[in-house]
Structure 1
Amino acid sequence: MTDENSHIPEPLDRIQQNVLAKGERRLLNWICPRLPMWVTPDRLTGFGVFGAFVILVGYALSGLSFHWMWLSIAGYVFQWFGDSLDGSIARWRKIERPRFGYFIDHSVDGLVILLIMAGMGMSPYVRMDAALFATAGYLLLSIHAYLAARVLGEFKLSYLNFGPTELRFVLIGLTLAMMVLGPDAGRTDARTSGFDWFVGAAAVVLNTLFIWQTLVTARRLDRIERPN
């Protein structure tokens, strides 16, 4: 998931307004000097991807028992740890590789969200089409952030005061609700549960945000480059 620790080759105006940003930064700054030297940025990135696979496995096995979703919750913690600290530890030790880090970080982000939402779609709680619709919205917003970084020099790291850490908390809360309420909660027909409606609504919000942000950015660029 895109985080405040992402790197790009050129200086950018980083726009980050998510609720937990300041507290998370203080926590990461406390952790960095306490990590042993063998914990490298590349290993942290790999650990974050491992966390995403753990999430997928927990969801995929939840049809056998809802207790498997505790594995998914642990996976979210692993994924946060790796994804949030890989860039932080590189900067702390002054071993940044801006182009390599930017490319790998955002390539991994796409894979991670696919693993998480595909795992959710494999569970008996959320339909795969709803999960993939939400995945498409997240990836479209990511594409917008990367394009805006190129054409405006601004890297937007949060939307509606939500960033990747807030999203993880929402997904953990959704997972706990699945465990407590069961797969039939809010079911409106044989194929659609309340969790499908929740994920589908989130997908609509994400895709609408992409369309809105695209229009806003296009208008800004038009004003900047319109011939006199």
Structure 2
Amino acid sequence: MAAPKAPTSSTPIDRIQENLLARSERRLLNWICARMPRWISPDLLTFIGMAGAFMVFGGYLASNLAEEWLWLSIAGYAVQWFGDSTDGSLARFRKIERPRYGYFLDHSCDGLATTLVVAGIGLSPYVTLEVALVALAGYLLLSIHAFLSVRVLGELKLSYLNAGPTELRFLLIALTLAMMWFGHEGEGWFGAISGFDVFTGVVGTILIVLFVIQTGVTSRRLAAMEPPRNDEWQGKEQQGD
């Protein structure tokens, strides 16, 4: 079997998106893009998405003053979804894609946005920063796997366990509402450890385990596509003798 060719700027990337809301979200995004004013550009939408991430961060940070600031984080998730989900969709809808530029900018902003969101959670009074950083490490490890898969397989995996960025935002909104409902006063649900710490740590651990599993799966797949070349090496050694 021939070895896979490394994707180039002209090689189409196979986007693998199997999350539960993928089809419904795609119909909604196409509906939005068809009605988007011409003066709105994909770059502007990327900027809006980053503004939403800063809103999320600011809301969590300000929740140290009053829990009502968490509403800013919830609004930020909606703004971040709108900008992050429509920038590439609009470019594809209008057929004005810039593959290398768009890929680089979009995923660079995704990394920064994720850092802002998770760091904000860790700087809130509900989750300790150390636990939040475990979740951030898990997410970034899966992101690294996705980017490496684009390089070696030409595939961009956008969902795991039937969940993608949109489902994750809904999960984080639910977590934020739970923060407002239960509060953070007094001892944690499990003594010194709060239930929010447990939830965040479990999610982070699952993400890290998924990275390990996906690394093994992809390695076996690549090993089958590129079998060892021991016979050729042995032949060269014999010729040298």
Q: TM-score range by the shorter chain?
A: over 0.9
Q: Which runs of 4+ in 1 moved over 4 A?
A: none
Q: CA deviation at 1:34?
A: 1.2
CA distance in 2, matches of 1:21, 1:9: 26
CA distance in 1, matches of 2:20, 2:224: 31
Q: CA deviation at 1:9?
A: 4.8
Equivalent residue, structure 1, for 2:34: 33
Q: CA deviation at 1:186?
A: 4.7
The percent identity for this pair of structures is 62
Q: CA deviation at 1:150?
A: 1.2
Equivalent residue, structure 2, for 1:188: 190
TM-score under structure 2 normalisation?
A: 0.88
Equivalent residue, structure 2, for 1:177: 178
Equivalent residue, structure 2, for 1:68: 69
Equivalent residue, structure 2, for 1:156: 157
In the alignment, residue 59 of structure 1 is paired with which amino acid?
Y
Q: CA deviation at 1:10?
A: 1.9
5+ residue gaps in structure 1? 1-7
- Is this contact kept in 2: 1:9–1:99, CA < 8 A? no
Equivalent residue, structure 2, for 1:210: 211
Q: CA RMSD in A?
A: 1.3
Tell me, yes or no, if structure 1 residue 219 matches structure 2 residue 220: yes
Write out per-residue CA displacement over residues 130-179 of structure 1, whole angstroms, 9 at most, x where no aligned residue.
11110010010011011111112221110000000000000000000000
- Is this contact kept in 2: 1:131–1:200, CA < 8 A? yes
Q: Greater CA radius of gyration, 1 or 2?
A: 2
Write out per-residue CA displacement over residues 47-90 of structure 1, whole angstroms, 9 at most, x where no aligned residue.
10000000000000112111100000000000000000001111
In the alignment, residue 54 of structure 1 is paired with which amino acid?
M
In the alignment, residue 162 of structure 1 is paired with which amino acid?
A
- Secondary structure in 1 aligned to 2:15? strand
CA distance in 1, matches of 2:30, 2:174: 26
In the alignment, residue 139 of structure 1 is paired with which amino acid?
L
5+ residue gaps in structure 2? 1-8, 230-241
